[in-house]
Amino acid sequence: MTPSSRPLGPPLRAGFFARPAADVAASLIGCDLRVNGIGGIIVETEAYDRSDPASHSVNGPTRRNASMFGPPGHAYVYRSYGIHWCLNLVCEPGSAVLIRALEPRHGLETMAARRGLSDPRRLCAGPGRLCQALAVSLAMDGLALDAPPFALAAPETAPAWITDRRIGISRAVETPWRFLLAGSRALSRPASRHATPGRSLTPP
DNA sequence: CTACCGATCGCCT
DNA sequence: GGCGATCGGTAGC
C-alpha cells in the first residue's frame, strides 16, 4: 500500500497542535487535509517558532501574524510576495507549521480548474499552489481547523519522514525544520543533500 | 534539470 | 526604500 492510500485514523483534535511546531510538522506528514472537501495527503511541511529568526512571529504580534499568537489548532493565512496565499497551522503561541505540498486525492478536477492549465503534477506542489487549488484565502485566517471548511485526519499509521533545510528563507537556513514524506513525488522540491531520515512516532 | 526575472504588497529599517 | 515562508515563464545546459 502506498502511503497516500492508507486508511485514515481519527480527526486531529486541538490538543494535537499544543506542542512545539517541529513536532507537529513531523506528525502532520501523511495526514489528510481538505478544505470544503478538496485536498489530499500532506507530504511537505515546515516549522516556524517564536524564537526563530526566519519566522513571521520573531518580532512579536502584528496585524498580519495575529493568528500565530491565537489558540493552537487554528489557521494562519498570509499573503506571500503580494500575490500568493500561504496556509499555516498554529501550534504553541507564536509558532506554526507551513503546509508546503499535498499529494492531491480529493477534487482533482476542481483543483485543475482553479489552477488553470498548469502541469497536473504541480497542482499542490508548493504553498501558494496548494492554496490556489484548495481556494484558501485570507477569509480563512484564524478559523478553527476542527470544523468546516477544514477537515484534517491522521493516517492509521504514521509514515516515515525525512528532515531537511527549509526553502526560500535567508535566516536560520541550517535549521532542519522542513519535513518530507519519504519517496513522495508531490513535493515542491526534492530533498536536498542536507536531508536526513527522521524517526516514526509510532514504530511497529 | 537549474537560473534568472517580474509581479505586487505588507511589514520592516 | 528594501525585502520577502512564491510562482510561472523563459533561457540555457
- Residue range(s) defining the domain that contains residue A122: 8-197
Rg (CA), chain A: 15
- For residue A86, being part of any structural domain is answered with yes
**Among residues A130, A146, A138, A173, which one has the least CA distance to residue A42?**
A130
Q: Assess whether A122 (CB) lies less than 7 A from strand C.
A: yes
> Strand B and chain A: which residues 42-101 have CB closer than 7 Å?
59, 62-65, 79, 81-83
pLDDT tens series, chain A, 204 aa = 455 456 788 889 889 999 999 999 999 999 999 999 999 999 999 999 999 999 999 999 999 999 999 999 999 999 999 999 999 999 999 999 999 999 999 999 999 999 987 788 899 999 999 999 999 999 999 999 999 999 999 999 889 999 999 999 999 999 999 999 988 999 999 999 999 998 755 443
Domain membership flag for residue A203: no
* Distance, CA of A169 to C1' of C4, in Å: 8
Number of domains in chain A: 1
Report if residue A202 sits inside a domain: no
Residue A110: closest CA among A166, A40, A203: A40
Q: What nucleotide is nearest A88 when CA is compared to C1'?
A: C5
Enumerate the nucleotides of strand C whose atoms come under 7 Å of any protein CB: 3-9
Is residue A204 domain-resident? Answer: no
Query: What does the DSSP assignment read for A99-132?
Result: EEEEEEEE-HHHHHHHH-SS-GGGSSBSHHHHHH
pLDDT score, position A183: 87
First-residue to last-residue Cα distance in chain A: 16
CATH number at residue A150: 3.10.300.10
The nucleotide minimizing the C1' distance to residue A117's CA is C8
Q: Is residue A160 part of a domain?
A: yes
Is residue A166 one of the residues assigned to a domain?
A: yes
* A170: its cell numbers: 535567508
Determine whether the distance from the CB of A68 to the nearest atom of strand C is below 7 Å. yes
Q: Is A83 a member of any domain? A: yes
Rounded Cα distance, A179 and A59, in Å: 25
Cell numbers at A132, concatenated:
490556489
